[in-house]
A and B are shown apart, each in its own frame.
Chain A
Amino acid sequence: MASASARGETTGETNDVPPAVEVVGLTKVYPKGPTAVDSISFDVKEGEIFGLLGPNGAGKTTTIKMITTLSRPTAGTIKVFGTDVSSSPQQVRQMLGFVPQAISVDGDLTGYENLLIFAKLFFVDRQQRNKRIHGALELFGLADRANDLVKQYSGGMMRRLEIAQALVNRPRLLFLDEPSIGLDPYSRMQVIDHIRQLNRTFGTTILITTHDMAEADELCDRLAIMNLGKIAVSGAPRELKRTVGGDVLTVSVQGPIQDSVPPELGTVVSSEKGLVKVLTVDGERAIPRITEYFEQRGAVVESVSLSRPTLDDVFMKYTKASLQQEGSFREARSARRSITRHGR
């Protein structure tokens, strides 16, 4: 697994445009604690949606805290659009939007006031302020509740309000820490739509952490999987899925069962009770040929189903071994921490 991380995503841009985020050798060691982040390097390109995945306690939130200037790195450098985070944190914060894991809108203010206060704290031009606030409320379907106290909002509405803040403040880079956690499927879908909308309409670069692999697959242009403070693997979702092997065809057969197929069609993984599982590179194209192969040998093919590797498989491949070895303690502690964070 260590060799996978050594494959180095630090290539960087060679042209003049600095990447949205450039992390080199970033390390965080807590006093008397574990090494939370262990010399990681990665780039986020301008305009992309980049996912940071990994089990609890992998170091995702610590990494985000360091990029958002909330926590000081033990070693390494971070540049945001070419500006060094350690030497000019305030300039960097002017370019950032941050939606933390726990819902962080102020329940004792109205939706409008939440947007107003944070627009002021971001020094949004007075002339544009009100127009943008009303526009954001309208777009995110909160206009009719704008003057209600936020504590009367539903969880999904609160999340939408937080993302609406990004629409008012127009950061170049937006951080979303587990944005869809605890939302019902419909609210989740709305939130994801809004994230995508921000990315497309304003070219906002988005860095997102999530546990939901389907969501990451759907949303992210590229992603990195962190494990035990290191980047286990990174790349586009499609590339990553390719690394866990090909498609699996499950063929339901009656009659004489074959225990093997020609190597150009794939390899038989298992064969029992009339079900043959074949691992193959390109599942869709293999279906007719495998059917033909079985039927030529006197069997009747009843059905064929195709399953593709998912990001879940990728996630398991690159994090499983460590979860079994060392995970339990860190896991338990970090899970507990996130419970206290959510408990009000």
Chain B
Amino acid sequence: MNNLERSALSAFTIAEMEARKIRHDSTELWMRTVQPALWLLIFGEVFNNIRNLPIPGGFSYIQFIAPGVLAQSVLFVAIFYGITIVWERDVGLLTKLLSTPSPRISVVVGKALAAGVRGIFQGVMIFALALIIGVNLRFDPLDILGVFIVVVLFAMCFASLSMTLASFLKTRDRMMGIGQAITIPLFFGSNAIYPVSLMPVWLQSIAVYNPLSYVVDAMRAMLLTGDYSGLPLDIFALVLSTVFFTLCASVLLKRLIE
């Protein structure tokens, strides 16, 4: 068995470990669908009545925010992984994982994959809700598959970022703080719940660099417009930053137990 096979095998084992935990107790997953549901059902429905929002492509407001709400809820799931890894350090599990012959990168990739699995669950729930309340999305199988690929990459990217931060901050309290400090600005400084054109100019210039905007962009292309011209760039940027943060976290993870 070469190192790549061992890494892949171990990463899937770590992801399996998480999946088995979810199977024993999935309460948390269900709780996490409450927030996106509220965004769609309350925020979406209310703002749907405002007719003169400059939404590109002539879509309704609730159509417009559905991909944004999905991206946001995946972001919230993923940013939580830094806290999980600090918790596992505190109870001695991380030490144990790092003392196995499995390559270190597989611990990070495995956790990141698990974040992806949770992200897919969010996706399924939000699509189900969209169907129930009659939000008109392009439910084309290939597009849905594409959205799930973006969801997994995005979750892996931010789970790795979160684990990278955890290796510097090292305590759960600080991770909770930084989680808030990252997710809220990213969310409100993106095109998730309003078009960038509505933002003040200074915010627009920041929003250009907001990774969440690119993710939402990719999802909108597949779920609403069918205009795939921006997709390659979106996905390229996403893959690049996922690889980057995965490598960062794998190298730095050791700091947590030293």
- What mask results when residues 59 to 78 of chain A are scored 1 for a CB within 8 Å of chain B, else 0? 00000010011110000000
B100 contacts A149, CB within 8 Å? no
Partner of B99, one of A93, A149, A344: A93
A106 contacts B17, CB within 8 Å? yes
- What mask results when residues 188 to 208 of chain B are scored 1 for a CB within 8 Å of chain A, else 0? 000000000000000000000
Is B140 interfacial (CB 8 A cutoff)? no
A100 contacts B24, CB within 8 Å? no
Is B91 interfacial (CB 8 A cutoff)? yes
B98 contacts A117, CB within 8 Å? no
Docked Cα-Cα span, A230 to B103, in Å, equals 32
- What mask results when residues 187 to 228 of chain A are scored 1 for a CB within 8 Å of chain B, else 0? 000000000000000000000000000000000000000000
Docked Cα-Cα span, A248 to B1, in Å, equals 61
Is A108 interfacial (CB 8 A cutoff)? yes
Residues of B within 8 A of A90 (CB): 101, 103
Of A10-18, A118-126, A303-311, the one with at least 4 CB within 8 A of chain B? A118-126
B21 contacts A109, CB within 8 Å? yes
Docked Cα-Cα span, A109 to B102, in Å, equals 20
Partner of A344, one of B16, B20, B24, B91: B91
Is B234 interfacial (CB 8 A cutoff)? no
B99 contacts A96, CB within 8 Å? yes
Give B194 Cβ to nearest chain A Cβ, in Å: 39
Is A267 interfacial (CB 8 A cutoff)? no
Give A213 Cβ to nearest chain B Cβ, in Å: 25
Residues of A within 8 A of B1 (CB): 123
Docked Cα-Cα span, A71 to B255, in Å, equals 9
Q: Do A149 and B24 contact each other (CB < 8 Å), given the known contacts A90-B101, A93-B101?
A: yes
- Closest A residue to B13 using CB positions: A120
Docked Cα-Cα span, A92 to B38, in Å, equals 51
Is A315 interfacial (CB 8 A cutoff)? no
- What mask results when residues 95 to 109 of chain A are scored 1 for a CB within 8 Å of chain B, else 0? 010101111101011
- What mask results when residues 304 to 344 of chain A are scored 1 for a CB within 8 Å of chain B, else 0? 00000000000000000000000000000000000001001
Is B95 interfacial (CB 8 A cutoff)? yes
Q: Do A106 and B93 contact each other (CB < 8 Å), given the known contacts A117-B17, A120-B13, A121-B10?
A: yes
Docked Cα-Cα span, A122 to B101, in Å, equals 6
Residues of A within 8 A of B13 (CB): 117, 120-121
Interface centre among B6, B90, B100 (most CB of A within 10 A): B100
Is B46 interfacial (CB 8 A cutoff)? no
Is B54 interfacial (CB 8 A cutoff)? no
B99 contacts A69, CB within 8 Å? yes
Give A115 Cβ to nearest chain B Cβ, in Å: 12
Docked Cα-Cα span, A109 to B14, in Å, equals 12
Residues of B within 8 A of A117 (CB): 13, 16-17, 20
Is A83 interfacial (CB 8 A cutoff)? no
A102 contacts B92, CB within 8 Å? yes
Residues of B within 8 A of A84 (CB): none
Give A68 Cβ to nearest chain B Cβ, in Å: 5
Residues of B within 8 A of A122 (CB): 100-102
Docked Cα-Cα span, A149 to B98, in Å, equals 23
Give A125 Cβ to nearest chain B Cβ, in Å: 11
Docked Cα-Cα span, A117 to B20, in Å, equals 10
Partner of A70, one of B6, B25, B95: B95
Is B97 interfacial (CB 8 A cutoff)? yes
Q: Do A109 and B17 contact each other (CB < 8 Å), given the known contacts A70-B257, A121-B10, A123-B6?
A: yes
Give B102 Cβ to nearest chain A Cβ, in Å: 5
B21 contacts A108, CB within 8 Å? yes
Is B96 interfacial (CB 8 A cutoff)? yes
Give A62 Cβ to nearest chain B Cβ, in Å: 10
A70 contacts B103, CB within 8 Å? no
Q: Do A108 and B25 contact each other (CB < 8 Å), given the known contacts A100-B92, A117-B17?
A: yes
A residues lining the B interface (CB < 8 Å): 65, 68-71, 90-91, 93-94, 96, 98, 100-104, 106, 108-110, 113, 117-118, 120-123, 149, 341, 344
Q: 15 other contacts beyond A70-B99, A70-B258, A123-B101, with CB at 8 A cut-off?
A: A70-B95, A90-B101, A90-B103, A93-B100, A94-B101, A98-B96, A100-B92, A101-B92, A104-B93, A109-B20, A121-B10, A122-B101, A123-B102, A149-B24, A344-B90
Between-chain CB contacts (< 8 Å), 29 pairs: A65-B257, A70-B254, A70-B257, A70-B258, A71-B257, A90-B101, A91-B101, A93-B101, A98-B99, A100-B95, A100-B96, A103-B92, A104-B95, A106-B21, A106-B93, A108-B24, A108-B25, A109-B20, A110-B24, A113-B20, A120-B13, A121-B14, A121-B97, A121-B101, A122-B102, A123-B6, A341-B90, A344-B90, A344-B91
Closest 5 CB pairs of A and B: A104-B92, A102-B92, A94-B101, A121-B100, A98-B99
